[in-house]
Amino acid sequence: MNSPTAPQSHLMQTYARQPVAFSHGEGAWLWDTDGKKYLDALAGIAVSGLGHNHPRLVKAIAEQAARVIHTSNLFRIPEQEALADRLCELSGMQEVFFCNSGAEANEAAIKLARYIGIKNGNPAPEIIVMERAWHGRTIATLAATDSPKAKQGFGELPGGFVRVPYRDFAAIEAAAASHPHVNAVLLEVLQGEGGVNMAENEYLQRLRALCDAKGWLLMIDEVQSGIGRTGTWFGYQHSGVKPDVVTLAKGLGSGVPIGACLAAGPAAGVFTPGTHGTTFGGGPLVCAAAIATLQAMDEEGLLRNAAEMGAYIRAGMTRELAGVAGVREIRGQGLMIGIELLRPCGVLVARALEKGLIMNVTRDSVVRLLPPLVLKRPDADFLIATLAALIKEFLSEPVSA
Ligand SMILES: *Cc1c(COP(=O)(O)O)cnc(C)c1O
Q: Which domain holds residue 120?
A: 68-299
Whether 166 and 276 map to the same domain: the answer is yes
Q: What's the confidence (pLDDT) of residue 1? A: 47
pLDDT in tens, 265-275: 999 999 999 99
| CATH, residue 247 | 3.40.640.10
CA gap 115, 110 in Å, rounded: 9
Q: Is residue 62 part of a domain?
A: no
Q: Is residue 16 part of a domain?
A: no
Whether 124 and 218 map to the same domain: the answer is yes
Burial degree of 9 (CB within 10 A; 0-12, 13-18, 19+): exposed
Whether 175 and 286 map to the same domain: the answer is yes
Q: Is residue 58 part of a domain?
A: no
Whether 308 and 286 map to the same domain: the answer is no
Whether the predicted pLDDT of 2 surpasses 60 = no
| Last residue within a domain, chosen from 263, 279, 299 | 299
Whether 244 and 376 map to the same domain: the answer is no
| Last residue within a domain, chosen from 240, 266, 299 | 299
CA gap 15, 57 in Å, rounded: 28
Q: Ligand 1: does its nearest atom lie under 6 Å from the Cβ of 221?
A: yes
What mean pLDDT is predicted for residues 227-243? Answer: 98
Whether 357 and 232 map to the same domain: the answer is no
Q: Is residue 175 part of a domain?
A: yes
Q: Ligand 1: does its nearest atom lie under 6 Å from the Cβ of 98?
A: no
Q: Ligand 1: does its nearest atom lie under 6 Å from the Cβ of 140?
A: no
Span of 3-17, 24-38, 103-117, 381-395 with lowest mean pLDDT? 3-17
Nearest-atom index, ligand 1, CA of 257: 7
Q: Ligand 1: does its nearest atom lie under 6 Å from the Cβ of 223?
A: yes
Q: What's the confidence (pLDDT) of residue 9? A: 82
Whether 88 and 30 map to the same domain: the answer is no
* CA 395 to centroid of ligand 1, rounded, Å: 31
CA–centroid distance for 229 within its chain: 9
Q: Is residue 2 part of a domain?
A: no
* CA 105 to centroid of ligand 1, rounded, Å: 9
pLDDT in tens, 18-56: 999 999 999 999 999 999 999 999 999 999 999 999 999
* CA 52 to centroid of ligand 1, rounded, Å: 21
Q: What's the confidence (pLDDT) of residue 4? A: 56
pLDDT in tens, 269-299: 999 999 999 999 999 999 999 999 999 999 9
Percent of the chain with pLDDT over 90: 97
| CATH, residue 350 | 3.90.1150.10
Whether the predicted pLDDT of 7 surpasses 70 = no
Mutate to test the pocket of ligand 1, among 47, 100, 193, 366 (most ligand atoms within 8 A of CB): 193
Whether 328 and 277 map to the same domain: the answer is no
Whether 233 and 131 map to the same domain: the answer is yes
How many domains is the chain built from?
Answer: 2
- Listed in sequence order, the residues at least 6 apart from 297 whose beta carbon sits closer than 8 Å to its beta carbon are 49, 50, 227, 228, 303, 373
CA gap 144, 157 in Å, rounded: 9
CA neighbor of 291 nearest in space, from 262, 246, 258: 258
Whether 97 and 221 map to the same domain: the answer is yes
pLDDT in tens, 336-347: 999 999 999 999
| Last residue within a domain, chosen from 277, 299, 321 | 299
Whether 319 and 294 map to the same domain: the answer is no
pTM tops 0.85, yes or no = yes
Percent of the chain with pLDDT over 70: 98
CA gap 130, 281 in Å, rounded: 28
Cβ–Cβ under 8 Å, residues 130 and 218: no
